[in-house]
């Protein structure tokens, strides 16, 4: 398997010139972020850790996998030591507030760091990803007493967290959850079984804090009767020391296609006396509390699509430079490395262009999250949060669909060697496959985008998104070849987007099935347009820097060429999706079941 080197040059460009990380220093609590040297140092150190510590464990972890022995899950060799180094270096605490030991740095910067953790070792990064989601849920919903017990240890990384939703009969349909709670004096007893629990048990930390969705004692049926509970692996004594083992245990590990080093557990709660749990938020409001954690995780999973695509791209480029095969059609000099063949070059440029579009989207949404968390004006804060909510399903679904496609292209670049496990190309493809499924399948993300984000506010937030795209189009230069291409295809794409939003708002009330059948191509359209929009913002900065003689001309010209190719090869497809959205949905819903 090839090495991993974080693409720091592009990361810095996107952070500084596309999402304007320096401007975030004006937000309350982020004043230190004006220190560019500090930002550069953080990125450099993260790159070293990802490349030198995590990446070398990736293929080994895939081969060895996690295992369960006598009711205890053992991490793959080297993972525990790597985790302790990672936590001791403070990487887990980056975006959280200082009240419980966090560093209070922006989510936008943290997103760049997480791209490195994901790309270097996806199975490893899944463990702290769920911890960060648990922290976010507790920060927003837990009582001060619960926060004082758990947040310090979770933020430091001394303990890890999990999210426990699905059950054998309840995957995405949370209303079918059967796990139940019984009220005691100052706690609850939880009983039930959960499946597909990422890093549900392991031996890397002393304690694991499970966030569990279960039925309230007297709650109504369906999702309205669900509450959220903290269920620690070990109970915590009043002095902060660990007490007795709670009644929660891993029952088994799933045998999976990929991410083998990440244990996916079947968890049993309350198989004897009942698992002690503590209510987070109010009874019967578990869904609201859990969605905080799920949104955090969905942004993180979308980032995984970008990250694993970057790792696969680096591998494809390295292989294409080394693999000597055939004589390129345009050059009769003899056999050459395959990077000289037109179709290989097309595949590599397509990978690169979509990766840079995804990077812009992921980092921009993270910056909007910073604004939603820290802007003091309540109207502006609400607008930023609405934009985050609108874009989360796009990030999750479009980036993971695209990431999976890019890992498949990596296998194709390798040819027959890509189908051989020892090259490592297959691992990236296998690992990427789950990203389109967990944290809500991408079809569910599309329905969320349509029903909860577009229809619920009558398309108002979508209009604000479109206005932002049109504002960028107005600032482009039609005399510049690259920007002229972006103007044409962005204009066509945003026109189609607005037409689709109008059609959905008219169609949904009378025929929600027909509207729903167009949700996935609509999300793809929005992803293509979003990526093109943020690449366009980058071209303005890159061209301005070239004109001023600032920066690395080779890198900046590469940014322009990559954006140009994205516009012609990918953004151009956005407007063509309007027909499948409107016309194709009729065919989908008119098919008789027996005709499938």
Residue 492: CA atoms inside 13 Å, Cβ hemisphere, count? Answer: 17
User: Which token pair is 174?
Assistant: 């949370």
Can you tell me which residue has the tokens 């895939």? 62
Give the total residue count for the chain.
596
β-bridge pairing 226-232 and 208-215:
antiparallel
Burial 505-521 (b: 16+ CB within 10 A, else e): bebbeeeeebbbbbbbb
User: Which token pair is 423?
Assistant: 């090259």
C-beta atoms surrounding 455 within 10 Å: 18
Type and span of the H or E element at 280: strand 275-280
C-beta atoms surrounding 149 within 10 Å: 21
Residues 539 and 486 sit within 8 Å (Cβ to Cβ) = yes
Looking at 228-341, list the stretches that DSSP marks H as alpha helix, in order from N- to C-terminal side: 286-322
Residues 213 and 228 sit within 8 Å (Cβ to Cβ) = yes
Give the catalytic positions in this structure.
439
Residues 92 and 259 sit within 8 Å (Cβ to Cβ) = no
Interatomic CA distance for residues 72 and 78, integer angstroms: 17
DSSP structure class, residue 50: I
How distant is the alpha carbon of residue 347 from its chain centre? 24
- The 3-class secondary structure across 178-227, one letter per residue, is CCEEEECCCCEEEEEEEEEEECCCCCCCCCEEEEEEEECCCCCCHHHHEE
Residues 205 and 160 sit within 8 Å (Cβ to Cβ) = yes
Interatomic CA distance for residues 454 and 136, integer angstroms: 26
C-beta atoms surrounding 372 within 10 Å: 19
Interatomic CA distance for residues 305 and 421, integer angstroms: 21
User: Which token pair is 479?
Assistant: 């005399």
Strand, helix or coil for residue 261: coil
Residues 518 and 506 sit within 8 Å (Cβ to Cβ) = no
Distance, first Cα to last Cα, the chain: 42
C-beta atoms surrounding 551 within 10 Å: 17
C-beta atoms surrounding 210 within 10 Å: 27
SS3 content of the chain, % helix, strand, coil (to 5): 65, 10, 25
């Amino acid at each position: 398997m090839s090495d991993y080197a974080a693409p720091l040059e592009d990361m810095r460009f996107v952070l500084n010139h596309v999402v304007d990380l320096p401007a975030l220093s004006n937000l309350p609590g982020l004043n230190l972020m004006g220190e560019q040297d500090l930002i550069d140092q953080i990125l450099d150190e993260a790159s070293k850790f990802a490349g030198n510590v995590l990446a070398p464990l990736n293929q080994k972890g895939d081969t060895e996998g996690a295992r369960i022995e006598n009711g205890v899950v053992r991490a793959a060799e080297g993972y525990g030591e790597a985790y302790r180094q990672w936590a001791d270096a403070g990487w887990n605490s980056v975006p959280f507030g200082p009240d419980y030991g966090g560093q209070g740095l922006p989510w936008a910067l943290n997103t760049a760091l997480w791209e490195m953790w994901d790309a270097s070792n996806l199975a490893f990064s899944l463990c702290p990803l769920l911890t960060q989601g648990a922290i976010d849920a507790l920060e927003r919903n837990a009582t001060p007493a619960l926060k004082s017990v758990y947040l310090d240890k979770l933020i430091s990384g001394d303990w890890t967290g999990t999210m426990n939703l699905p059950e054998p009969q309840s995957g995405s349909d949370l209303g079918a959850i059967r796990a139940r709670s019984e009220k005691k004096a100052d706690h609850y007893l939880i009983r039930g079984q959960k499946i597909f629990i990422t890093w549900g048990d392991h031996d890397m930390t002393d304690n694991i804090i499970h966030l569990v969705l279960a039925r309230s004692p007297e709650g109504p049926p369906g999702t309205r009767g669900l509450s959220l509970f903290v269920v620690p692996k070990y109970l915590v004594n009043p002095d902060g020391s660990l007490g007795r083992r709670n009644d929660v245990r891993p029952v088994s590990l799933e045998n999976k296609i990929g991410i083998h080093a990440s244990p996916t557990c079947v968890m049993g709660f309350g198989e004897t006396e009942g698992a002690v749990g503590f209510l987070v938020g109010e009874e019967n409001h578990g869904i609201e509390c859990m969605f905080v954690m799920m949104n955090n995780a969905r942004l993180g999973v979308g980032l995984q699509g970008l990250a694993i695509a970057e790792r696969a791209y680096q591998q494809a480029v390295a292989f294409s430079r080394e693999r000597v095969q055939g004589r390129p059609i345009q050059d009769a000099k003899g056999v050459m490395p395959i990077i000289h063949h037109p179709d290989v070059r097309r595949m590599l440029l397509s990978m690169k262009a979509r990766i840079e579009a995804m990077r812009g989207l992921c980092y921009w949404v993270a910056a909007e999250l910073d604004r939603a968390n820290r802007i003091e004006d309540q109207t502006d804060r609400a607008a930023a949060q609405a934009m985050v909510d609108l874009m989360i399903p796009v990030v999750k679904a479009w980036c993971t669909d695209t990431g999976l496609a890019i890992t498949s292209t990596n296998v194709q670049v390798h040819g027959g060697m890509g189908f051989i496990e020892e090259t490592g190309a297959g691992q990236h493809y296998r690992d990427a496959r789950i990203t389109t499924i967990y944290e809500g399948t991408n079809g569910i993300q599309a329905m969320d985008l349509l029903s909860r984000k577009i229809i619920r506010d009558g398309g108002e937030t979508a209009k604000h998104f479109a206005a932002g795209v049109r504002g960028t189009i107005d600032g482009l230069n039609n005399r510049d070849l690259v920007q002229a291409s972006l103007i044409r295809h962005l204009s066509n794409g945003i026109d189609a987007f607005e037409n689709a939003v109008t059609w959905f708002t008219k169609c949904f009330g009378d025929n929600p099935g027909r509207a729903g059948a167009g949700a996935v191509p609509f999300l793809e359209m929005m992803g293509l347009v979003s990526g093109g929009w943020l690449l366009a913002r980058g071209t303005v900065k890159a061209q301005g820097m070239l004109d001023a003689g600032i920066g690395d001309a080779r890198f900046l010209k590469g940014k322009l060429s990559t954006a140009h190719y994205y516009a012609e090869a990918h953004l151009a497809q956005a407007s063509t999706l309007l027909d499948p959205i409107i016309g194709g949905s009729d065919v989908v819903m008119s098919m008789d079941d027996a005709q499938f």
